[in-house]
Structure 1
Amino acid sequence: MDEVCSAWQDMIKVKKPYSGNRKMHPEVYSKYASHASIAEPNDPVYLDTQRMFKVIKTDNKMPYFVAITVKPRLRIWCPIKTKQYIEGNIHDSKLLKRDGHYELYLTISKEVSFDNAHPSSILAVDMGERNIATAVLFANSFTSNQSKPIFMGRNVRGLRRKYAYLRKKLGKKKLLRMVRKVSNREQRKVNDILHKISRQIDDVAKENNAVILLGDLSGIRNRTRSRRFNRIIASMPFYRLTKYIAYKANWEGTPVLTTREWYSSKLCHRCGSDNTLRPHQGLFVCHACGYQCNVDYNGAFNLAKRLGKLSSLTALSGSSAKIERLFVIR
């Protein structure tokens, strides 16, 4: 595989057509030359799932093997270990060598049916600046039987600020390579946190037979003229988190719904008044009824109330969707 990865990097750097790539590296399988002619610099090795790549399921201790064609009539069989069952249709695969180790990226799709989706509760998820996600479980009614809020991702804001400061400091010194390195490190750390948060939310929903409710954040950057707030919104990965939650939940057959998010943090969920105040970032105070609570908890409560009664969720039954998911095997 080292020979294939080295040849791939050579071909995508010079950016030659197929014939030029074949003359440069006749020792590797011709499909690599074909894909390299349209690849961009630093792209991982693209594996054609029809001729270059195949996943084999076994009954051995290593449940899966991958067969990768490296030369004409020569395949390498590699055992792979994954905690998750690989099901569905593999229609895209890429191989990346990083720090001396190989990573395999599989894009798998399957048809998910919600025929048996009869949720008995709602898991409302509010996204904010202080806590990137706050989840509250509601069962039977909105005045009782709701769980304590689960606050998640409080360290994301501090992490983004730390790396923004480092990038600014390195940028002044014209250390552009270090800026890219720091940005990549930040992205990996933030993505790891987001994946853990989305998994926690999906697990809670599955354990409680709940539908996941998210706020629709489309157009949020156009709702305020505050430069500080716009900068905060731009730096927080809300859209990425909603995508992670949705594809993981739908893959397991858990429905994900969205409702309008506008004004959910401003209105008092108890009396409906907008005569409210936030003395500091995490506290919500209603001057009309005197109610006080965490601002993210108030937002999640308003989202759940906008969805309506649980009986209306039976409309989910009979629907289905084609879901795509990315598996990373290291």
Structure 2
Amino acid sequence: MNIRLTGLIAGGLLVLAALAASVALGKSMVPLGTVVDAFISFDGSREHLIVRSVRVPRALMAMMVGASLGVAGSVMQAISRNALAGPEMLAGSNGAALLLVVSMFLFGYTSSMIHVWAALLGAGLASLTVYVLGSLGGGMTAIKLILAGATINLLLASLVQGILIFSEQSLDEMRYWLAGSLTGGSMGMFLRVLPYMLAGLVIAIMASKQINLISLGEDVAQGLGLKVGLYKAGALLAVMCLVGGAVAIAGPIGFLGLAVPHIARFLVGLDYRWIIPYAALLGAALLLLADIGARFILPGEEISAGVVTAVLGAPFLIYLAQRKGG
């Protein structure tokens, strides 16, 4: 059997194991037998209610958010040909957060399609803005991308805080979400954005061959007859769906979309037909594990999964910036 296919199967098993652990582990430990019984013979007990209404939805959200951010980061790095590109560096996460906060401030906290579209549009516009700014003046470099991303990220974060300052209640309700948390994730919002996230994954996987060519350079891709503009637009659409959906559910989760593509490339090389599915599985598994860790790092307290990914990802970003600088 192809070693890459074997790795893909192993990655799927890892996701399933992390999914099971996420449902079973927490302040209240739930045996896996009880998890199965909660769906086969639900009896209304406290454990069954925890499994069905809290643990399983949270685990499914973590799986989809992690997969979406991993794939979005892979696509961004391919089309920009920059190892430092990602939902965080291209401000996609903060762009989605800004428009989502604006829509919640204006229309309330109900899980409406307005919030979904706000997150999707914010992710796309912010990423496009940073990409354009980083490409000005002789082409994109790692330093220009970092500067453009840092500037737009700071601007968007300041705007978010400025909006929230008008309402103390809004700030209290949004603060934990803005740290990147799956705790308060709405199942209603998850079901609303799930079709868009799945569409983004399908687009990325189906376009992986063309993304491969774009990653070699636009001149090479055009010389091989590829309509680069069309496929870049499709890639941006996929990123909008993936990042916007992820932020709508869990807030801006840091560094996952930056680090996962590098791990996938280390495992399977430079072929995006393999990198993208590997990134989906790795992203899902890593966010599930980060969310489990967030429950146990502080005794008696639970921190945001985004804090865990940030602590682990910040040294990785410093390493990449030093290696790719200029």
* TM score, norm. by length of structure 1: 0.27
- Tell which has more relative contact order, 1 or 2 (C-alpha 8 A, sep 6+): 2
Higher helix share: 2
* TM score, norm. by length of structure 2: 0.28
Structure index of larger Rg: 1
Higher strand share: 1
